[in-house]
Chains A and B, each alone.
Chain A
Amino acid sequence: MMNKIQQILPWIVLVLAVLYAGQRVVRPERIESAFDLERFRQLPVSASGRTKPLDTVARNSLMKMSGRQSIQTDEGTVSAIEWYIELITDPEASVQRRVFRIDHPDVLAMIGLDKEKRTRFSFEELRIAGNEINRQAGLAFETKAKSRDPFQRAILVLNQRMSLFSELSQLLNPYLVPPLTSGAEEWRSFVTVLNESPNDPDAMALLTILQDYRAANLEGATEEEYEAGRLSFNTSLGKFAGLIERKLPYEARKSRYEVIFNQVQPFIIASTLFLIAFLFGCFGMLSSQLTKKEWSKSLFNSMTSLLVVALIVQTIGLVSRVYLQGRPPITNLYSSAVFTGWGCVIIGLIIDRQMKLGLGGIMASVIGFGTLVVAHNLGSSGDTMEMMQAVLDSNFWLTTHVVVVTIGYSGTFFAGFLGIAYVLLGVFTKMLDRELGKSMVKMTYGVICFATVTSFAGTVLGGIWADQSWGRFWGWDAKENGAALIVLWNLLILHARWGGMIRDRGLVVLAIFGNIVTAWSWFGTNMLGVGLHAYGFTSSTVFWLTLFVLSQIVLMGVGMLPMTIWRSKFAKPILPNS
């Protein structure tokens, strides 16, 4: 009986995981509204150089201002698109919405809102202090970016959010008017079109839709007025959307897909699955210690089921981004984090297939979850599919470079995390016996070899791209140097090993230092603010990076504690070194 359960469990978990992921796709959250806002949010518009659905604009803007993709009110949740259409049709109501998140106490005090026990405020509340905010922002702007204090940074952020609010409500951005029947070739700003050619058919169609919505939702509108406005809104929107469908079929299709992508949020699903997989892995580890080998095997297999589903979901997410953006999978720090996790999960699954220990899977779930959390935090500042500067535009060498070098990062990280697992298991538990230790060292060594090849090849591909782009194979740029450091560090470990200078413990401790080198190359080099690759960074990144580096140093220190303190006792180093 028990045997049966152990055999079936992984399959049950697999089915449940598929169901969990599937229901988000099959039954996405719909908007409860008598107005066809579903169709409205699918309308493609042009913002920051990319065609995207209004849904994305609404979500990203709200995210930028309030740190959330919806608004919580006493009456319930207001979705991003409901907020957006209110913003552009009913200014009186929209200035009452509490969408501005302010955390800095001095900023709150300056506006006179420090007595309030909340962190989100409405435009109206801020308008009173508008002049002072402007003056302070002006002062902060005059200060060099590096020497601004936290107050100045906070005030600039607030100022930016307020201008975003104004830009949106005044219909300056995004470019709403598509090139349909007017003869225009590009997307245009609604306000510009109304000023320049008031009879433009495309803009008029849009204006009708917005006026209908306004008429129906106006304060004091009668039942009949509401009903008439609603019907008219839905009909004219249907016509407009149909026209876009005919004239711009590609944009319309992509736009619809992106709305689904926004709703499904594949990376959120994947991170949930990683977390559950990690729990299964831990239980598997525990039960292997309680000499219940069958149970541990069953739990590990369940973990693998979860990981496979998570990997598929994450792959779909990555492929969707490639389709939506028309760019390689890695375009900024956000996507590099997602991709690094993806690479690590594959490495972990391969290792588990070879070694059947469950350790690869545990590592995969930890790194998979961790990188998605990092990505989520990096992505909270707006559109994660923004356009890139011309020099970083797509090119075969650039694409292969970022992909391969990111796999190299993944490998180095993976080896480092294996090292951490080795140290923690060895020092704090009795689990690390001779056999497990040997396997883990083998794994670490193998992953380092893999990481050496990929990080070298990735770096070289970057060189080829640089040579193609500006005639310099190697320019000693900060990011290039970072990549070279990873290669050199891996080579150092391998040669030290071959020379017999380090044994098992040395290998894992050095592998942990590889985490620091990789983190430096990945994030640290961007913080210097020099070179071509300095594409994005916030001061909180500095804090987290410092914390990470310190934690790794501590772990290395723990790993170097005398073997007599280790709770796992194994008499001699396992591998003979002549």
Chain B
Amino acid sequence: MMKIRKLLKPLASLQLTVVIFALSIFLIFAGTLAQVHAGIWTVVDQYFRSLVVTIELQIFVPKDVATIPGAIWFPGGLTLGVAMFVNLIAAHAVRFKFRKKRIGIILTHLGVILLLVGEFVTGFAAEEGNMTIREGETVNFVEDIRSTEFVIVDPSDPVDDLVVVIPERFLETGKSISNSLFPFRIEMTEWMANSQMLGPKDAPESRKGIADSGIASELAAMPLPRANGVDGSTVDAPSAYVTFFDGETRLGSYLLSVYINQPQKVEVDGRTYLVSIRFARTYKPYSLHLIDFKHDLFVGTQMARNYSSDVRLVDTTRNVDREVLIYMNHPLRHAGETFYQASFLQGDAGTVLQVVKNPGWLIPYLSSTMVTLGMLIHFGIRLVPAIGRRS
């Protein structure tokens, strides 16, 4: 028993606590500055949910002031979180005895442990997606706008469609894809992870005629660098030039893109297949029908006063069929998921709801109540008489 205590002692020291705080402060500061040059999701993954982060020194000085090469390695958020966790547990194992007047500090620290666990759960288990619904439309899937899929639909069966989905990780320029589920071979002529779409007038000569079939052959897609969250580009919009072969017979070249809303037809042996590139979908047992989207402005200004979506929620598995108004600060909670008013389509033609599933969503509420309460008790009992007393 004594041995364990001896071993734990350095881990339990307040010096270590202070060092962890100092490192965390620097990490958060750097992680804030990094957001000027990189998107928030990139930063969260690199800085706050990583073991080690490479902090580029350039983030501390604006680029137009000076160019600074080099970078330093620094413990990431995960490392510091775990260190704080270990330090706390060790401190309580070594030093703390349960006494009445320590109740505040124990409660606070338990709360902190729970808070760390909560962020851990959120980091690993939370899912976010979007539901884009036009007025009058019904949608029963959630889109993940951070990943894309290539979809082939065989609509020949009158009851069920046969849907084949190829995830983004298989999509690369020059790749050839074939499978027994569809009768043709796919040649990925050019895969663009992020792109812009140009109309027939703007399309450069070099891009004309790459696609000779389908509804988008007049358009041209140009590759763009991956979105980094700066300059308003937070979402990658992939496009691809794709050629289909039936054995050695060339069926045609198509331009597929998330910009193109409807699937395009590929015909083989008199059968029609529908192909498209779209944001990855997860189908749900419920559906939302958008009755009306409202975008109110303050009188005489272009400033938004409120956005609201009047939707009908239908879930046959749970016997739900009701009308709900989703608006700012008033989300809908259903089936462990929460639907927030996030954005809208051009011309107020429809709504974009953010759909979040976070099994740990209650943990921060509980833990922060514990911490606040614990601090109030602790300082309430001890603040007046005790100044700088060592535990």
Q: Which residues of A contact B (CB under 8 A)?
A: 46-50, 147, 173-175, 186-187, 189, 387, 389-391, 393, 395, 398, 441-442, 445-446, 449-450, 452-453, 456-457, 460, 463-465, 467-478, 481-482, 484-485, 488-489, 491-492, 495-501, 503, 507, 517, 520, 525, 528-531, 575, 577-578
Contact = CB atoms under 8 A, between A and B. Distances in A.
A144 to B, nearest CB: 10
B329 A469 contact: yes
Interface in B9-32: 13-15, 17-18, 21-22, 24-25, 28-29, 31-32
Given A49-B301, A441-B387, A488-B25, A393 B35 contact: no
B40 to A, nearest CB: 7
Contact of B35 (A467, A470, A530): A530
Nearest to B29: A485
Given A498-B391, A528-B36, A450 B379 contact: yes
B14 A471 contact: no
Sort chain B's interface into a size bin.
35 or more
Given A398-B329, A450-B379, 18 more contacts: A47-B300, A48-B298, A48-B301, A48-B303, A173-B300, A453-B372, A460-B372, A463-B364, A471-B338, A474-B119, A484-B28, A488-B21, A488-B24, A499-B17, A500-B390, A517-B25, A528-B35, A578-B390
A393 B328 contact: yes
B28 A473 contact: no
Contact of A395 (B306, B329, B365, B387): B329
A45 B14 CA distance: 61
A497 B21 CA distance: 13
B387 to A, nearest CB: 5
A456 B373 CA distance: 11
Given A186-B299, A528-B36, A530-B36, A481 B31 contact: yes
Contacts of A484: 28
B299 A501 contact: no
B64 interface: yes
Contacts of A530: 35-36, 40
Interface of B: 13-15, 17-18, 21-22, 24-25, 28-29, 31-33, 35-36, 40, 43-44, 47-48, 64, 118-119, 122, 128, 297-301, 303-307, 328-329, 331, 338, 340, 342, 354, 356, 358, 361, 364-365, 368, 371-372, 375-376, 379, 383, 387-391
A156 to B, nearest CB: 19
A553 B40 CA distance: 30
Contacts of B40: 475-477, 530-531
B328 A391 contact: yes
B388 A492 contact: no
A324 to B, nearest CB: 16
10 contacts: A46-B300, A50-B298, A457-B372, A469-B340, A473-B361, A476-B31, A476-B40, A489-B21, A498-B388, A517-B25
A469 B44 CA distance: 20
Contacts, number: 174
Contacts of B29: 481, 485, 520
A387 B25 contact: no
A523 to B, nearest CB: 13
Residue picked from A474, A525, A528, most chain B C-beta under 10 Å: A474
A495 B14 contact: yes
Contacts of A391: 328-329
A453 B13 CA distance: 23
A499 B390 contact: yes
A49 B303 contact: yes
B294 to A, nearest CB: 11
B175 to A, nearest CB: 35
Contacts of A464: 364-365
Interface of A (DSSP majority class)? helix
Contacts of A393: 305-306, 328-329
A398 B13 CA distance: 37
Nearest to A404: B372
A189 B300 CA distance: 8
B226 to A, nearest CB: 18
Given A456-B372, A488-B24, A492-B25, A49 B305 contact: yes
B36 A529 contact: yes
A492 B305 contact: no
A389 B303 contact: yes
Contact of B300 (A175, A450, A475, A499): A175
Q: Which 3 A-B pairs have the closest CB atoms?
A: A49-B298, A499-B14, A471-B356
Contacts of B18: 492, 495-496, 499, 501
B97 to A, nearest CB: 16
Contacts of B364: 460, 463-464, 467, 473-474
A504 B150 CA distance: 65
A475 B298 CA distance: 29
Contacts of B365: 464
A528 to B, nearest CB: 5
B31 A470 contact: no
A482 B32 contact: yes
A517 to B, nearest CB: 8
A187 B354 CA distance: 34
Contacts of B64: 147
A531 B35 contact: yes
B36 A476 contact: no
Nearest to B22: A492
Contacts of A446: 383
Contacts of A476: 31, 40, 43-44, 47-48
Contacts of A442: 387
A488 B28 CA distance: 10
A528 B33 contact: yes
Contacts of B297: 49
A449 B305 contact: no
A477 B28 CA distance: 10
Residue picked from B36, B329, B368, B391, most chain A C-beta under 10 Å: B329
Contact of B25 (A175, A489, A500, A525): A489
A94 to B, nearest CB: 22
